[in-house]
């Protein structure tokens, strides 16, 4: 029993324990909805029958799409059966693994464990990402392999070949997945070849100065990086021998940081190391050569694997190219697929399309969303319903939609800051990610007028999650610097309110039963606040304030607001309750903040009134004992 207790304590102290809890929660929620509905929904009605044909050896009818995702769906049917588990389990498992890689991407970009946890929490509980992670559609496979490509790229030059193959796999899942190579190329061109940017994929030489000091004073070296310089100490001085140090994090700790006692000032003298030798050709140009050769594997792997997967689907030999008949063979299949997928032009007739610039300006991907808030009866095609019971809605979580409006300028500004900080590399990668997976769609749309949908924004949501986590991490740093006071509490309240809105949006929009989603979201928020170090006193006060605000909104203000906003004689004259949701959420948050301030002041007053005076606290009176 004692070993079990020790093992449990070690598990709780494990640095990846919060990620493990989050993964188990997200996976459990997916499994809770995997059989709802018990029939193909939305585009599953195309891909499930096609996967059945592949299983029976009849080939594919969806020739406008590349083969990999279709093969994965067919593999799920082979393993788990021709049922909702077989249709959707591959997407659930692959998206869960992708969350692990996404967390490590954040870490390799130089963010803290808390920032990486926040980004993964936001991505895993985002509505659009969650419903696609539990559906049989091509997009989630494209996103997962793109995340793997970014992860391999940030692991270092030895893994760049795997990044190129992952880009090819993303393109083999859906043709737009090949765009994943753009963020990688942009990021490498910006900082990949610079030795002073703290890039994760470079090796730099850290020169550490020699510190001359009296023998009575011993220096303390703070956070030496891996393979730190060897320190040789003598009676008169300390010599630090220069070594080549591989940078494993995006912005590594400087080995020049030497902390001395206030009573003695260190004297920095020039290093006695040999002068640096002239760099050879390979040492100078190895990085660009290796990068270019590695990325060249992406198109090679794409065409080779396309051939292999097509032959697996059709169970016969297919030549790569037929000279003189360019519409035959593998090359002909790719040409015909691109022609068919590009022939569908933008139209509002019977569809729910969304232009690329509308993806960030509206959570539904349509400017008509703002008109729908006030007069929903006049706007029909502003939201993409995947299914009605349970509700699968193709809508971005309002929390990440709002934060996305701030993430783009924030990341751009952060990228141009000259000082080298842990967030700079992450901000640069966020900008590259957004350019490669969203901004590039604008000229493509203008040039081709090809129809686009809101879920085409799915590959960009990871960048928005990282950028949002960076903004929240800025508040967390300011919170940690303060020991108390109202300013600290209100910054904590701001971070908590954002997480509350995000998880509440997830609870309402997701296909989960409310009796499952709301308690799970409440416990997940409780766990997150505890991990972020907000303390139980703050957490309890916030939950009490939120509970009272909910009761006030439901039983006191809801019906007056509905009568004022919805009825025909009301000033607003709204026939539906769409705008009522927004107003109720804003008022509910305002009431929560007010109640929290009141509760916080009351609790502090009680604690202060019952605290011992300083002299009594220093010399407490002996406790009375009862004599037998």
C-alpha 255/C-alpha 419 separation (Å) is: 17
**Domain assignment of residue 168, yes or no:** yes
Whether the pLDDT of residue 275 is over 70: the answer is no
| Confidence label for 184 from pLDDT (cuts 50, 70 and 90) | very high
3-class secondary structure, 245? strand
In this structure, of 74-78, 163-167, 563-567, the range with the lowest mean pLDDT score is 563-567
**Domain assignment of residue 515, yes or no:** no
Whether residue 427 sits in one domain with residue 332:
yes
Q: List, for residues 218-272, the tens digit of each pLDDT value.
A: 444 334 334 433 434 443 343 434 444 344 343 333 333 333 333 343 444 444 5
3-class secondary structure, 251? coil
Short-list 471, 505, 516, 525, CA closest to 396? 505
Whether the pLDDT of residue 382 is over 70: the answer is no
In this structure, of 33-37, 127-131, 373-377, the range with the lowest mean pLDDT score is 373-377
Q: Which one is predicted more confidently, 530 or 571?
A: 530
Short-list 24, 133, 37, 3, CA closest to 388? 37
Q: Which of the listed residues 481, 516, 549 is the one where a domain comes to its end?
A: 481
Return the DSSP state at 210. Answer: E
| Confidence label for 424 from pLDDT (cuts 50, 70 and 90) | confident
Whether residue 463 sits in one domain with residue 375:
yes
Pairing of strands 210-212, 237-240: antiparallel
Helix (H) or strand (E) segment spanning residue 240: strand 237-240
Structure tokens at 15: 């640095």
| Confidence label for 278 from pLDDT (cuts 50, 70 and 90) | low
**Crossing angle between the packed helical segments 2-13 and 17-33, to the nearest 10 degrees:** 90
Whether residue 396 sits in one domain with residue 264:
no
Whether the pLDDT of residue 527 is over 90: the answer is yes
C-alpha 557/C-alpha 565 separation (Å) is: 12
Mean pLDDT of the chain: 80
Q: Which residue's structure tokens are 């494209």?
A: 142
Q: Which residue's structure tokens are 């000279």?
A: 323
Percent of the chain at pLDDT exceeding 90: 44
pLDDT of residue 131: 94
Say what the pTM is: 0.82
Whether the pLDDT of residue 448 is over 60: the answer is yes
Phi and psi based region of residue 458 (left: phi greater than 0; alpha: psi -120 to 50; beta: remaining): alpha
pLDDT of residue 82: 94
For the residues 303-321, what does the mean pLDDT come to? 90
Whether the pLDDT of residue 197 is over 70: the answer is no
**Domain assignment of residue 580, yes or no:** no
Q: What is the DSSP string of 89-156?
A: HHHHHHHHHHHHHHHHHHHHTT--HHHHHHHHHHHHT-HHHHHHHTS--SHHHHHHHHHHHHHHHHH-
C-alpha 484/C-alpha 482 separation (Å) is: 6
In this structure, of 64-78, 119-133, 154-168, 577-591, the range with the lowest mean pLDDT score is 577-591
C-alpha 538/C-alpha 489 separation (Å) is: 8
C-alpha 540/C-alpha 537 separation (Å) is: 5
pLDDT of residue 102: 98
- Between the alpha carbon of residue 458 and those of residues 224, 339, 383, the distances in Å are 39, 23, 16
Question: Among 107-111, 247-251, 273-277, 489-493, which range has the highest average pLDDT?
Answer: 107-111
The residues, ordered by sequence, that sit 6+ positions from 208 with a Cβ below 8 Å of its Cβ are: 229, 240, 242, 255, 256, 271
pLDDT of residue 620: 54
Whether residue 173 sits in one domain with residue 144:
yes
In this structure, of 14-28, 299-313, 371-385, 426-440, the range with the lowest mean pLDDT score is 371-385
Whether residue 390 sits in one domain with residue 247:
no
Domain count, the chain: 2
Q: List, for residues 498-520, the tens digit of each pLDDT value.
A: 999 999 999 988 999 888 999 99
- Please report which residue ranges of 14-67 form alpha helices under DSSP H: 17-33, 44-55
Q: Which one is predicted more confidently, 587 or 406?
A: 406
Q: Which one is predicted more confidently, 226 or 153?
A: 153
The residues, ordered by sequence, that sit 6+ positions from 177 with a Cβ below 8 Å of its Cβ are: 142, 145, 146, 167, 169, 170, 171, 459
Structure tokens at 457: 């924004």
**Domain assignment of residue 290, yes or no:** no
Percent of the chain at pLDDT exceeding 70: 74
| Confidence label for 563 from pLDDT (cuts 50, 70 and 90) | low
Whether the pLDDT of residue 562 is over 80: the answer is no
For the residues 582-588, what does the mean pLDDT come to? 77
pLDDT of residue 540: 92
**Domain assignment of residue 316, yes or no:** yes
Whether residue 213 sits in one domain with residue 154:
no
Q: Which of the listed residues 465, 481, 497 is the one where a domain comes to its end?
A: 481
Whether the pLDDT of residue 308 is over 60: the answer is yes
pLDDT of residue 234: 40
Q: List, for residues 451-495, the tens digit of each pLDDT value.
A: 888 899 999 999 999 999 999 999 998 888 877 777 888 889 999
Whether residue 430 sits in one domain with residue 304:
yes
Short-list 471, 465, 519, 517, CA closest to 495? 471
For the residues 141-146, what does the mean pLDDT come to? 97
> What does residue 300 show for φ and ψ, rounded to 5 degrees?
-65, -50
C-alpha 225/C-alpha 197 separation (Å) is: 16
Are 246 and 226 in contact, with CB atoms under 8 Å apart?
yes
CB atoms within 10 A of CB 486: 12
For the residues 195-209, what does the mean pLDDT come to? 38
**Domain assignment of residue 288, yes or no:** no
Are 299 and 60 in contact, with CB atoms under 8 Å apart?
no
Whether residue 315 sits in one domain with residue 445:
yes
Q: Which of the listed residues 253, 269, 285 is the one where a domain comes to its end?
A: 269
**Domain assignment of residue 566, yes or no:** no
Whether residue 140 sits in one domain with residue 54:
yes
Whether the pLDDT of residue 203 is over 50: the answer is no
Whether residue 235 sits in one domain with residue 139:
no
In this structure, of 166-170, 315-319, 446-450, 581-585, the range with the lowest mean pLDDT score is 581-585
pLDDT of residue 390: 84
pLDDT of residue 93: 96
- Which range of residues forms the domain containing residue 144? 15-196+299-481
Collect contacts of 515-521 with beta carbons under 8 A, ≥24 apart: 516/29, 516/32, 517/29, 520/25, 520/29, 521/125
Whether the pLDDT of residue 377 is over 60: the answer is no
pLDDT of residue 99: 97
**Domain assignment of residue 74, yes or no:** yes
List 393's β-bridge partners, or say none: 385
Whether residue 261 sits in one domain with residue 180:
no
Whether residue 349 sits in one domain with residue 323:
yes
Are 452 and 348 in contact, with CB atoms under 8 Å apart?
no
Q: Where are the beta strands (DSSP E) in 405-526?
A: none
């Amino acid at each position: 029993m004692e070993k079990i207790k020790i093992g449990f304590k070690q598990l709780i102290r494990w640095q990846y324990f919060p990620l493990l809890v989050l993964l188990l929660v997200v996976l459990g929620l997916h499994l809770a909805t995997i059989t709802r509905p018990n029939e193909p929904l939305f585009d599953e009605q195309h891909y499930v029958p096609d996967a059945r044909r592949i299983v029976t050896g009849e080939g594919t009818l969806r020739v406008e799409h590349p083969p990999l995702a279709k093969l994965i769906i067919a593999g799920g049917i082979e393993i788990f059966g021709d049922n909702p588990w077989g249709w959707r389990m591959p997407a659930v498992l692959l998206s869960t693994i992708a969350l692990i890689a996404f967390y490590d991407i954040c870490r390799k970009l130089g963010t803290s464990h808390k920032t990486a946890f926040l980004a993964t929490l936001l991505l895993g509980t985002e509505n659009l990402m969650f419903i696609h992670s539990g559906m049989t559609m091509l997009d989630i496979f494209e996103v997962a392999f793109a995340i793997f490509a970014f992860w391999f790229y940030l692991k270092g030059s030895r893994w760049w070949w795997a990044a190129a193959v992952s880009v090819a796999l993303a393109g083999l899942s859906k043709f737009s997945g090949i765009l994943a190579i753009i963020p990688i190329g942009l990021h490498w061109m910006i900082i990949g070849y610079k030795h002073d940017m703290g890039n994760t994929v470079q090796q730099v030489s850290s020169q550490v100065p020699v510190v001359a000091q009296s023998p009575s004073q011993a220096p303390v070296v703070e956070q030496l990086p891996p393979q730190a310089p060897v320190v040789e100490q003598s009676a008169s001085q300390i010599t630090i021998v220069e070594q080549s140090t591989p940078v494993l994090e995006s912005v590594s700790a400087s080995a020049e940081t030497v902390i001395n006692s206030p009573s003695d000032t260190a004297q920095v003298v020039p290093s006695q190391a040999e002068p640096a030798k002239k760099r050879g050709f390979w040492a100078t140009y190895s990085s660009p050569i290796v990068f270019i050769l590695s990325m060249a594997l992406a198109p090679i792997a794409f065409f080779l694997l396309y051939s292999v997967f097509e032959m697996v689907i059709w169970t016969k030999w297919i030549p790569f190219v037929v000279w003189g008949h360019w519409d035959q063979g593998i090359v002909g299949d790719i040409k015909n697929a691109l022609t068919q997928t590009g022939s569908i032009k933008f139209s509002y007739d019977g569809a729910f399309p969304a232009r690329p610039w509308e993806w960030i300006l509206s959570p539904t991907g349509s400017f008509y969303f703002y008109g729908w808030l006030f007069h929903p009866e006049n706007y029909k095609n502003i939201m993409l319903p995947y299914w009605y019971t349970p509700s699968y809605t193709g809508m971005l979580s309002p929390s990440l939609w709002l934060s996305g409006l701030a993430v783009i300028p924030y990341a751009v500004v952060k990228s141009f800051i000259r000082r080298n900080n842990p967030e700079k590399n992450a901000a640069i990668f966020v900008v590259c990610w957004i350019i490669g997976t969203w901004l590039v769609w604008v000229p493509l749309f203008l040039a081709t007028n090809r129809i686009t949908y809101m879920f085409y924004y799915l590959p960009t949501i990871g960048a928005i999650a990282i950028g949002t986590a960076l903004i929240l991490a800025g508040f967390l740093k300011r919170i940690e610097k303060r020991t108390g006071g109202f300013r600290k509490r209100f910054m904590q309240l701001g971070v908590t309110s954002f997480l509350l809105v995000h998880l509440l949006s997830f609870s309402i929009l997701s296909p989960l039963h409310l009796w499952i989603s709301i308690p799970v979201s409440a416990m997940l928020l409780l766990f997150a606040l505890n991990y972020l170090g907000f303390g139980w006193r703050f957490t309890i006060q916030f939950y009490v304030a939120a509970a009272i605000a909910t009761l006030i909104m439901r039983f006191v203000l809801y019906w007056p607001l509905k009568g004022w906003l919805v009825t025909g004689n009301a000033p607003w004259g709204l026939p539906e309750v769409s705008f009522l949701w927004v107003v109720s959420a804003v008022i509910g948050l305002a009431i929560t903040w007010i109640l929290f301030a009141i509760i916080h002041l009351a609790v502090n007053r009680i604690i202060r009134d019952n605290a011992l005076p300083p002299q009594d606290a220093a010399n407490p009176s002996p406790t009375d004992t009862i004599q037998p």
